[in-house]
Amino acid sequence: MNETSEINLLNDSLLNNISFVRKQIHKATELCAVVKGNAYGHGIETFVQMLLNNGVTSFAVFSADEARRVNLMLPIGCRLIIMGDLDEAALPWCIEENVEFYVFSFERLKQAIRVSHESGKKARIHIELETGMYRTGFDDTNMPELLSLLDSAREFIHLSGLCTHFAGAELIENFDRIQIQAANFTAGIEEFQKQNLIPQTVHACCSAAMMRIPEMHFDLVRVGILLYGFWPSKEMAIEYSTLHPSEPNPLRRVIQWKSRVMSIKNVPAGSWIGYGESFAARTNMKIAIIPVGYAHGYARSLSNFGQVLIQGEKLPVLGLVNMNCISVDVTLLNDIAVGDEVMLIGKQDDQEISVASFSERSEQLNYELLTRLPHSIPRISN
């Protein structure tokens, strides 16, 4: 390992997760992989290539800059959708490259119509409906103007999609709100049909909604977190394992994060370890210094609290997490050496540091911890 740490992406796990997701949907429903946020921290190029190798041909990103990176990798016939931020200056490129994009304001709709007109090629747009999340999308009051604008612009735009997003389907406490959103979306689809505006694909579900509201799958599901091998919430993990006791967790973590021992030190009893006075050695101890700190995404809140695996043993982090390193208690290990593998997230023998345990200890969500892993850590697929 040349770098201080390395992220490995496990292809067998990804293949397992893809087939789990495919089992949840009808054969005709398209699986669109959500790879925004640097593919949830997994490394967008590496992860997209793995998805392509495993037969996934539909991708969703947040912004035009992510789309440019993914588009370079896609063979003809793939679908790429920008769900969020898009500057007017990027519209000609999207249209030229057949990159599809969400439209959730009149401003963007008018821009798309104008640029399509100028370029002589149809923009491939997805109209997003506001159904009760209050983030982005056209609401009821916009409907008459929206429908008439779309109707009059038929020759300039291709209605690639009609979509919405649920506000927290992973938590049962949001049940009523999600039901209302589902009903609102169904009503919105009917309005489009009445106007004879027929979208190529209707879509609404993220991972949690795909699992919980199958009647809302429509033509395409936008799945992120499940593909990476994580449940959208602890509640859903428990729900699944209760309903499927023979296979309580069908998902496999794709990511593995490891480092190595940089230095080893003996510490006499009574000494403070690291900065300040946050940990005192009560007996003679041996510590290993690992070259990973908060600058590399190892949260400072894991000071005196995190755990790593070395030689199959779960060992505690001692003292404060520094910018570039942590100290770990290796007093137990007799033959530890500089260069030994240190597992930060992953398995050694029968021991595991899961992302969930890691993120619970650092009080971060799975999503947050993953996307904060710095881009500079090399991502390697195997």
Ligand X SMILES: Cc1ncc(COP(=O)(O)O)c(C=O)c1O
Give the catalytic positions in this structure: 36, 275
Taking CB atoms, the residue at the shortest distance from ligand X is 224
CB of 348 to ligand X, least distance (A): 28
- Please write down the long-range contacts of 106-110, taking CB distance under 8 Å and 24 or more positions apart: 106/142, 106/145, 106/146, 106/149, 109/146, 109/149, 109/150, 110/149
Residue type, position 255, single letter: I
Of 3-11, 216-224, 292-300, 342-350: span binding ligand X (CB under 6 A): 216-224
Rank residues 73 and 167 by Cβ distance to ligand X and give the closer one: 167
Site for ligand X contains 274 (CB under 6 A): no
Cβ contacts of residue 204 below 8 Å, gap of 6+?
Answer: 163, 164, 165, 166, 182, 185, 216, 218
Site for ligand X contains 207 (CB under 6 A): yes
- DSSP per-residue letters across 92-158: HHHHHHT-EEEE-SHHHHHHHHHHHHHHTS-EEEEEEB-SSS-SSSB-GGGHHHHHHHHHHTTTTEE
Site for ligand X contains 17 (CB under 6 A): no
Token couple for 232: 């959208």
Of 74-82, 174-182, 221-229, 244-252: span binding ligand X (CB under 6 A): 221-229
CB of 288 to ligand X, least distance (A): 35
Q: Which of 9, 223, 267, 355 binds ligand X (CB under 6 A)?
A: 223
Cβ contacts of residue 299 below 8 Å, gap of 6+?
Answer: 306, 321, 362, 364, 369
Q: Which of 83, 113, 147, 328 binds ligand X (CB under 6 A)?
A: 83
* Cα gap 55→49, rounded to integer Å: 10
Residue type, position 46, single letter: T
List the one residue out of 4, 1, 2 whose CA is nearest residue 323: 4
Q: Which of 124, 165, 217, 296 binds ligand X (CB under 6 A)?
A: 165
Q: Which of 42, 122, 217, 222 binds ligand X (CB under 6 A)?
A: 222
Pair 270, 281: CB distance under 8 Å: yes
Token couple for 105: 């304001």
Rank residues 237 and 295 by Cβ distance to ligand X and give the closer one: 237
Total site size for ligand X, rule CB under 6 A: 11
Of 5-13, 219-227, 293-301, 349-357: span binding ligand X (CB under 6 A): 219-227
* Cα gap 120→360, rounded to integer Å: 52
* Cα gap 207→222, rounded to integer Å: 7
List the one residue out of 21, 36, 45, 42 whose CA is nearest residue 82: 36
List the one residue out of 102, 56, 101 whose CA is nearest residue 75: 56
CB of 155 to ligand X, least distance (A): 29
* Cα gap 357→65, rounded to integer Å: 32
Rank residues 232 and 297 by Cβ distance to ligand X and give the closer one: 232
CA triplet 345, 334, 336: central angle to 5 degrees? Answer: 45
Q: Which of 34, 80, 90, 153 binds ligand X (CB under 6 A)?
A: 34
Site for ligand X contains 206 (CB under 6 A): yes
Rank residues 210 and 336 by Cβ distance to ligand X and give the closer one: 210
CB of 331 to ligand X, least distance (A): 41
Of 87-95, 144-152, 204-212, 309-317: span binding ligand X (CB under 6 A): 204-212
What string marks each residue from 224 to 243 as x (binds ligand X by CB under 6 A) or -? Answer: xx------x-----------
Rank residues 168 and 274 by Cβ distance to ligand X and give the closer one: 168
Beta-sheet strands, E only, within 147-240: 157-163, 201-205, 220-223
Q: Is 312 exposed, middle or buried (0-12, 13-18, 19+ CB in 10 A)?
A: exposed
Site for ligand X contains 126 (CB under 6 A): no
Of 111-119, 205-213, 334-342, 353-361: span binding ligand X (CB under 6 A): 205-213
Of 21-29, 147-155, 184-192, 222-230: span binding ligand X (CB under 6 A): 222-230
CB of 222 to ligand X, least distance (A): 4
CB of 32 to ligand X, least distance (A): 8
Q: What residues make contact with ligand X under the rule CB under 6 A?
A: 34, 83, 165, 206-208, 222-225, 232
